[in-house]
Amino acid sequence: MLELKLGHITPEVQSWIIDHGEDIIKEIAVPALKVPEVSSVFNTTYGTLFHDDCIKVLASMPDESVDMVFADPPFNLNKDYGDSIDDNMTKSKYINWCEAWIKECVRVLKPGGAFYIYNLPYWNTFLSNILNKYMNFRHWIAVSMKGLIPVQGKLQPEHYGLLYYIKGERPKVFHKQRIPLVTCRHCGGEIRDYGGKKSSLNPEGISISDIFMDINPVRHKKYKNRSANELPLRLLHRLISLSTDAGDIVLDPFGGAGTTYVAAEFLERNWIGMEIGDTDIIIERIEKNERDRELLLKIEKESNILFTEEQVRLRQKNNFWTYEKLKD
């Protein structure tokens, strides 16, 4: 053994290694990491839903196995999401918990994949510090959200923060998204004066900026699938269209009302979902998605065009220019 420790591999040492191979392997073997066992509660042609803690499910997934991550975690506002969800953590506990699931999401994300986190601007200042350690910053998107509760001594809050990061130097997929020109809903006239630049406008619409002004909150109970907050379908339709191709895999570790999964199904993207709370709402919504499908068809019809049909009708009625007239 002294010869071996000194790095001298004599014929006698080689013979000893061969004779004691199994014992050596037992001594130096690293215990295998125990992968949590998880099972799905719902499956579709495109997706799989797990009723479990997201960190546990993520730990069971292989490295670099998804193309996009969208996360809308609880905002730690002491809301009641059921006994399984703690929405009243200390600041340090919340940030540490977020780093735990963020690191797992980064691990399972493919190179070039997009990572979006939707949260209050306050929390996103801390989450961006975490993401900066592992990914490359692309945008802080302000999602306009009217009707937020005013805070005494502060400016009126009117947006949620949407962090957009990528794994690696450049995005694997980036499909520019366009929206219609903003016009008066009464007469159809444009709000902004484009002057002599009208002829250079793209017929597919105006490129989206890092301020989303057209995302309306889902507040009326007629359109909500649960009592808690619910994400607008337009937001997820836009992000999935921007950062994935058909057949790619979208991961959302906080299922909520299932908005991400509904949009992914419509866009023919594969999806992996997790929800530690009630999953019956998600399952029922996907199985009975007529209302969502109608809305998504409308959203798609109003995407990547300069004017919607209603805008064209109003503008023609009031003798405003249209793209067809500009071509003539």
Q: Per-residue pLDDT tens for 15-37?
A: 767 777 667 655 555 444 455 67
Read off the pLDDT of residues 94-123 as tens digits, 9 standing for 90 and up. Answer: 999 999 999 999 999 999 999 999 999 999
**Strand-strand pairing, 109-119 and 159-166:** antiparallel
How many of the other CB atoms lie within 10 Å of CB of 174? 13
Taking residues 56-64, what's their average pLDDT? 97
Same domain, 150 and 35: yes
Same domain, 252 and 265: yes
Same domain, 20 and 35: no
Helix (H) or strand (E) holding 164: strand 159-166
Same domain, 5 and 42: no
Q: Output DSSP code: residue 200.
A: G
* Whether 146 contacts 136, CB under 8 Å: no
Amino acid letter for position 249: I
The domain tally of the chain equals 2
Q: Is 37 contained in some domain? A: yes
Chain mean position to CA 272: 12
Same domain, 2 and 136: no
- What does the DSSP assignment read for 145-212? -TTPPP-TTSPPP-EEEEEEEESSSS-S-----EEPPPB-TTT--BSS--GGGGGGS-TT-EEP-SEE
Same domain, 22 and 39: no
**Strand-strand pairing, 47-50 and 211-212:** unpaired
Q: Output DSSP code: residue 155.
A: P
- Separation of alpha carbons 208 and 68, rounded Å: 19
Same domain, 13 and 38: no
Q: Which domain holds residue 256?
A: 31-174+206-303
**So what's the pLDDT on residue 148?**
77
Give which of 315, 160, 175 is closest to 237, Cα–Cα.
Answer: 175
Same domain, 14 and 158: no
Read off the pLDDT of residues 178-201 as tens digits, 9 standing for 90 and up. Answer: 999 999 999 999 887 766 677 788
- Separation of alpha carbons 244 and 134, rounded Å: 21
**So what's the pLDDT on residue 59?**
97
**So what's the pLDDT on residue 216?**
86
Look over the chain and give the mean of its residue pLDDT values, rounded to a whole number.
87
Q: Is 14 contained in some domain? A: yes
| Residue 116, strand partner residues | 70, 164
Which CATH number covers residue 95? 3.40.50.150
The answer on pLDDT for 231 being more than 90 is yes
Same domain, 87 and 150: yes
Checking phi first, is residue 267 left (phi over 0); if not, alpha (psi -120 to 50) or beta?
alpha
Q: Is 185 contained in some domain? A: no
**So what's the pLDDT on residue 83?**
59
Which residue did the predictor score with more confidence, 238 or 227? Answer: 238
Read off the pLDDT of residues 79-95 as tens digits, 9 standing for 90 and up. Answer: 665 656 767 688 999 99
**So what's the pLDDT on residue 177?**
97
Read off the pLDDT of residues 277-328 as tens digits, 9 standing for 90 and up. Answer: 999 999 999 999 899 999 999 999 999 999 999 999 999 999 998 877 655 5
Read off the pLDDT of residues 124-165 as tens digits, 9 standing for 90 and up. Answer: 999 999 999 999 999 999 999 887 788 889 998 899 999 999
Is 154 in a helix, a strand, or coil?
coil
